[in-house]
Amino acid sequence: MEVWAEIRSDKEKGAKRLVAEFWDRLFGASLVLCKDEHTAEDLVFRTFSQVIAKIDQYDDGQPFWSWLYAILLNYFRGDLRKMKAEVGEEADCCENAAAIADEAVTTKRLTEMDAEVVRLAVSRLSPALREVVMLRYFEDKTLQEMAQLMKVPTGTVKSRLHLARRRLRKSLGRAFDKEEEQS
């Protein structure tokens, strides 16, 4: 029985299974987005609560993980909006990029580098850029899937992804340079 079906038939038992099956993956994604363990944990708990409360709205024709992750992203974005409103900052703007960098090379390099170094570099990106990196490189989503989850046009996803890669290249430049020397 799928976890969503179990939640529908027995909320308590299904909730325990939901946490057991998805805690690590969802917490890891949340931690990269939030950069703070307590905030990430809170985000995951709110996501699980929402999933359990709204399980009847889940379309079982769609991947469950994508639905779960979309809820997490919506909470994360909502928290950012609230925080910016409280602080009085303007929303982050994304620069338009002229061209998309060579994704294959970047993907290969990112996967070969030390995971902790990459995680740290990703955590330094703005929330919008962390989101695209998480979806593309950690969740292996297509541009169209990313646009749908983020509720933005595909062009915006491409632009953010390009900018994120450029910033990661800059912050990880020394590691990239060392790799080039060894090749």
> Distance between CA 164 and CA 158 in Å, rounded?
10
What is each CA distance from 115 to 111, 120, 178, in whole angstroms? 8, 9, 16
Give the DSSP H or E segment for 105.
helix 103-112
Average pLDDT over residues 94-99: 30
Long-range pairs of 63-69 with CB within 8 A, sequence gap ≥ 24: 64/2, 64/3, 64/4, 65/22, 65/25, 66/145, 66/149, 68/22, 68/26, 69/26, 69/29, 69/139, 69/149
pLDDT band of residue 94 (cuts 50, 70, 90) is: very low
pTM (2 d.p.): 0.57
Least confident window among 6-10, 16-20, 26-30, 77-81: 77-81
What is each CA distance from 1 to 5, 6, 12, 58, 147, in whole angstroms? 6, 7, 15, 15, 30
Q: In the block, which residue shows the tokens 């695209």? A: 132
Give the per-residue pLDDT at 108.
Answer: 44
Domains along the sequence of the chain with CATH: 3-87 (1.10.1740.10), 103-182 (1.10.10.10)
